[in-house]
A = this chain, B = another copy of it.
Amino acid sequence: MTSTWRTRAECDSPELTDDHLDGIHAWWRAANYLSVGQIYLLRNPLLREPLNRDDVKPRLLGHWGTTPGLNFLYAHLNRVISERHQKALYITGPGHGGPGLVASNYLDGVYTDVYPEITRDEGGLQRLFKQFSFPGGIPSHVAPETPGSIHEGGELGYALSHAYGAAFDNPDLLVFAVVGDGEAETGPLATSWHSNKFLNPVTDGVVLPVLHLNGFKIANPTVLARISEEELVDLMQGYGHTPHIFTAGFDDEEPEGYHRRYAELLDGVMDDVAAIRATAAEQGENDAERPRWPMIVFRTPKGWTGPKEIDGHKTEGSWRSHQVPLANARDTEEHLKNLNDWLMSYRPEELFDDSGALREEIARLAPPVGLRMGERPEANGGVIRKELRLPNFEDFAVDVPHPGAAIAEATRVLGTWLTGVVEENRHNFRIFGPDETASNRLQGVYDETDKQWMADYESPEVDQHLARRGQVMEMLSEHQCQGWLEGYLLTGRHGLMSSYEAFIHIVDSMVNQHAKWLKVSDELEWRRPIASLNYLLSSHVWRQDHNGFSHQDPGFIDLIVNKKADVVRVYLPPDANTLLSTFDHCLRSTQYINVVVAGKQPSPQWLTMDEAVKHCTRGLGVWEWAGTEEPGTSPDVVLGCAGDVPTVEVLAAADLLRRHIPDLKVRVVNVVDLMRLQDEKEHPHGLSNRDFDTIFTPDKPVIFNYHGYPWLIHRLTYRRTGHSNIHVRGYKEEGTTTTPFDMAMLNDIDRYHLVMDVIDRVPGLGTRYAGLRQEMSDARLDARAYARTYGDDIPEVKDWVWPDAGDAATNQQVDETVFTGGDNE
């Protein structure tokens, strides 16, 4: 792997001239002018007529405070990119600075390339200004609509995680990551500095963090701006960086002065980076030491170059610059004059020619086409995404002679297949997880790869499967893993996140943001599809044997289902073969968030691989071998199930019913793809009403045993004909450290309770089978008493196997014609 990292001395024209600095300053003024214009102006974009109140937008929406700093950094980085021919991405942690990024993209021409109606003339400027934060226009933050962005400016805290995710396996890429000092107070950002312990200095790219220390949030100073410089330096050194501190804007220094100081600082930092890369390359990817990467502290006033004072209150250098400093610009003469003076302070007449185009001498300072940051393909990952090479998952099938006759750990089987995925996709596939890859039984992948680890090593005896280069990323922070994975996917690669089901809630809000990103991206023709964000949630609610109540929460599915139907999918494969088929599908898909919940404990297996593929293709289906209905007749009751543990209990209940109520016609329906339950008008995977009624019947009792909170099944099915007959069992927030069967009983999803439900719900059974009902109730008490005495599940339960499956399994004949609605992807 050759490095493109060059020192300034190796560049074509290494000296830093006054012309350079004048050019940068002009560019910065232009970017600031365009930023202010976007926030305030509805028309008269170059102020060629006297500013009139009707030129000002009636609703002033946006954020000025962080913008001039972002523009400054962008302008200077452009010089470095041009001189060193450096591929670079710009991550805007302070995402409020939307106008700045739009302005910079407009100045170098990218914006017009992407949005041709925003021309490089006065008319284009007018449209550029008007569209900002305007109905039918663009959002105020850095967003999918912003060329060059992979980082939504909304929720704060993920700038560095995204930056590192982008850098992994991109050895020639510089990721310039601006971190706001407000954002720096968030937890996720505070730990994400440690990402440098996971970055290989040969095979990954470089992240250059810049702490944008402008001192204020909405209404407060920031913590990092109000500790001593000594503490701040200690903190950054403690995080493993060499900090370089730049301060400007607080005194009368001329622009040439601070531009020169910053340009020299940045050159020095880039030379340090080049030296680090060179050293690491010599050491080699498997032996490189963790370098002490540089970072920059950029201490400048909030709202730099904006009004010093408004109405007698300090504005530049205070929280008053955070949003729109002149909120009444339209309403008072004085504020209108303030705005006019502010805009004119950038001397627009020197920046734009008569047509309104950026003057040629400024425009040519843009990086060469191809290296402009807004057009880097890494920021539109779909254009460089390569399909994964996937081993044939059917080769990894568990042999299931008949339903229930094999025992396997589903995620461990998945791990054997993922080993092949790892092997076949060395540089664009990684597995992320908070210290749980092995706990979730995916350790098979360590046959082919390691956990990437650039911190210190102790001894091979305790440092198993750690290496300086590997495709598994583990840090005990769901935020960090999620952020890394998002950055990795958004730059065109593939991956999955494995986590305990309960604690994936830690990233709820990050998932919300990613879902929003996908939804908006889908509406932008120029953004190409990226690989789906795949979750493997294991160690789930029913099997938290070691950890108990605090580790039991199946609610992530509910969160996901609130997102736009176009971007979310939820799968609950009941065994190993269905899990393989499901995951193969997920890794091939794009633009989705796929949530797969699967068990890791030894469990009975139900379907052969052929059956599994068919079942997963349909998303749900009748398991005729498990039921007792006769062909051509309608069942008396339907037992539905979704999730591995609920499926075991439903099959056990069906077995009990077969033995004890032989004339009862029972149908068993298993659901893998939860969205099939929904109406086809609500979700692309939804079944038609006709198909739903055919499977679940329009009028018979349905006892549905569900993995998660029961009401979700009601929500998904509330429009169905027979909805009022659907009775759902699921997790009702009862739990502790106990045996698996006790957990089932605590929440009434156990086989005995299901049989009681059937007796209660099927007309006529209540009287005839009062004795059986009592027997089931007693069985629950026995099981509980056994557990409380011996600390274990009763043997019959643990050793249960499907009784008549040997023959029944061969009878499986699902009518495929039933499944006509929805797509099957």
Contacts and interface: CB of A to CB of B under 8 A. Distances in A.
Contacts of A156: 476
Contacts of A516: 549-550, 733
A140 B240 contact: no
Nearest to A42: B791
Interface stretch (A223-231, A267-275, A360-368): A223-231
A92 to B, nearest CB: 13
A652 interface: no
Contact of A435 (B139, B218, B453, B562): B218
Interface string A34-59: 00000000100000000000000111
A135 B187 contact: no
A509 B520 contact: no
A462 B187 contact: no
Interface in A668-709: 709
Contacts of A138: 737
Nearest to A546: B61
Given A545-B61, A737-B139, A185 B194 contact: yes
Contact of A152 (B451, B519, B550, B738): B550
Chain A binding surface SS class: loop
Interface in A255-309: none
A79 interface: no
Contacts of A456: 226-228
Contacts of A545: 59, 61
Interface string A493-512: 00000000011011011001
A228 B816 CA distance: 63
A513 B733 CA distance: 12
Contacts of A738: 134-136
A475 interface: yes
Interface string A445-481: 0000001010111100111001000000011110110
Interface stretch (A120-128, A711-719, A753-761): A711-719
A32 interface: no
Interface in A780-823: 784, 787-788, 790-792
B185 A187 contact: no
Given A57-B791, A318-B462, A787-B135, A238 B231 contact: yes
A182 B134 CA distance: 46
A219 interface: yes
Contacts of A170: none
A333 interface: no
A613 interface: no
Given A238-B237, A435-B182, A456-B228, A733 B563 contact: yes
A176 B231 CA distance: 24
Contact of A788 (B95, B135, B231, B453): B135
A480 B186 CA distance: 8
Nearest to A134: B791
Contacts of A183: 476
A457 B227 CA distance: 9
A209 interface: no
Contacts of A505: 508-509, 512
A742 interface: yes
B323 A136 contact: no
A520 B186 CA distance: 30
A549 B194 CA distance: 30
B223 A547 contact: no
Interface stretch (A11-19, A387-395, A525-533, A552-560): A552-560
Interface size class of A (residues with CB under 8 A): 35 or more
Contact of A133 (B59, B154, B191, B737): B737
Contacts of A143: 548-550
Nearest to A712: B715
Given A141-B547, A508-B508, A714-B715, A58 B736 contact: no
Given A183-B476, A227-B240, A231-B237, A548 B155 contact: no
B227 A155 contact: no
Interface stretch (A103-111, A375-383, A404-412, A436-444): A436-444
Most chain B CB neighbours (cut-off 10 Å) among A138, A188, A238, A239: A238
Given A139-B737, A319-B462, A475 B223 contact: yes
Nearest to A136: B788
Given A226-B197, A475-B223, A739 B186 contact: no
B188 A314 contact: no
A313 interface: yes
Given A220-B466, A235-B238, A466-B220, A187 B480 contact: yes
A578 interface: no
Contacts of A546: 61-63, 133, 140, 323
A138 to B, nearest CB: 8
A325 interface: no
A551 interface: yes
A718 B709 contact: no
A761 to B, nearest CB: 15
A722 interface: no
A57 B791 CA distance: 7
A153 B550 contact: yes
Contacts of A429: none
B562 A549 contact: no
A234 interface: yes
A153 to B, nearest CB: 7
Nearest to A309: B461
B323 A549 contact: no
Contacts of A232: 238
Nearest to A508: B508
A118 interface: no
Contact of A192 (B187, B218, B563, B790): B187
Interface string A64-105: 000000000000000000000000000000010000000000
A223 B237 contact: no
Nearest to A567: B733
Nearest to A515: B733
B506 A509 contact: yes
A607 interface: no
A189 B186 contact: no
A183 B434 CA distance: 11
A438 B220 CA distance: 10
Contacts of A550: 95, 139, 141, 143, 152-155, 513, 516
14 contacts: A133-B737, A134-B791, A135-B742, A136-B787, A141-B550, A187-B189, A219-B437, A228-B456, A234-B234, A235-B237, A317-B462, A505-B509, A516-B549, A558-B558
* Top-3 shortest CB links A-B: A154-B550, A235-B238, A187-B187
Given A323-B546, A564-B733, 7 more contacts: A154-B551, A185-B476, A189-B191, A217-B476, A227-B455, A231-B238, A516-B733
